[in-house]
Amino acid sequence: GQGVDEPLSATGFRQADAAGVFLSNVKFTHVFSSDLLRAKQTAATILGKNKFCKDLEIKYDARLRERKYGVAEGRPLTDLKAMAKAAGEQCPSFTPSGGETLDEVRERARDFFEFLCRLAVELEQKEQDVHGAASRSSGASEEQLVFPWTNHCSEAELSSGNGGASKLLDANILVVSHGAYMRNWIGYFVSDLNCTLPTNLTKSQLSSVSPNTGVSHFIIKLENGNLLRPEITCVCLNQDSHL
């Protein structure tokens, strides 16, 4: 939850190191992190391993915090499950007293995603103002967009998300958050925005919480800067081969 702001454990730092090595060849344009300590430390560790953007500023955002669990915060998961059972409900839909509902978490995720979309559109407009659309799209290099998980998905999945274009992405954004929050965010992508999923993804995988430092990769297309109809393709979900 949010109320117990503990640092990473030794295991957590090892996992963050592994994720940083895994993502070391990806040139990010932006890094956003939850403002909770464990996420901040994870983001800093990942960026510290990066070959291209060690000095990139990490921006902290409270909208990326873990779900708030109210009276259950700081207590074992078994306590939360017992509270849910006593209320005749089940996790994760159960909301402890003082906690956030799933709808409230999803609203935070929607608000932050729309902020990212606006950011990408503004970048595109700035690029066109500086260079002109024709010169910009003619010769961008892809050498620093080496995604380590391309071996784990088909070429079709990658090309379907970027229209086959071979130009530099306008924004390549690393977001570091928390398990329950991200499960709700992905649910928003799928149910509200019709995100295209990998063909081999099972329903249980879609509803599961990511392992610590699990990596999910989404390609977002905003055709003609249309913020209302983003096209979203999930390349991989909760990837953990680096652990």
- List binding-site positions: 38, 66-69
Distance, in Å, from the CA atom of 167 to the CA atom of 142, rounded to the nearest integer, reads: 7
Distance, in Å, from the CA atom of 65 to the CA atom of 67, rounded to the nearest integer, reads: 6
Contact between residue 59 and residue 198 where contact means Cβ atoms under 8 Å apart = no
Sign (positive or negative) of CA dihedral 130, 133, 137, 142: positive
The bridge status of strand 215-221 relative to strand 231-239 is: antiparallel
Preceding amide of 76 cis, omega within 30: no
Query: Which residues are known binding-site members for substrate?
Result: 38, 66-69
Contact between residue 187 and residue 130 where contact means Cβ atoms under 8 Å apart = no
- In angstroms and rounded to an integer, the radius of gyration of the C-alpha atoms of the chain is 19
Contact between residue 78 and residue 195 where contact means Cβ atoms under 8 Å apart = no
Distance, in Å, from the CA atom of 226 to the CA atom of 114, rounded to the nearest integer, reads: 11
Distance, in Å, from the CA atom of 221 to the CA atom of 56, rounded to the nearest integer, reads: 24
Please state the φ and ψ torsions of residue 31, each to the nearest 5 degrees: -130, 125
Please state the φ and ψ torsions of residue 138, each to the nearest 5 degrees: -90, -30
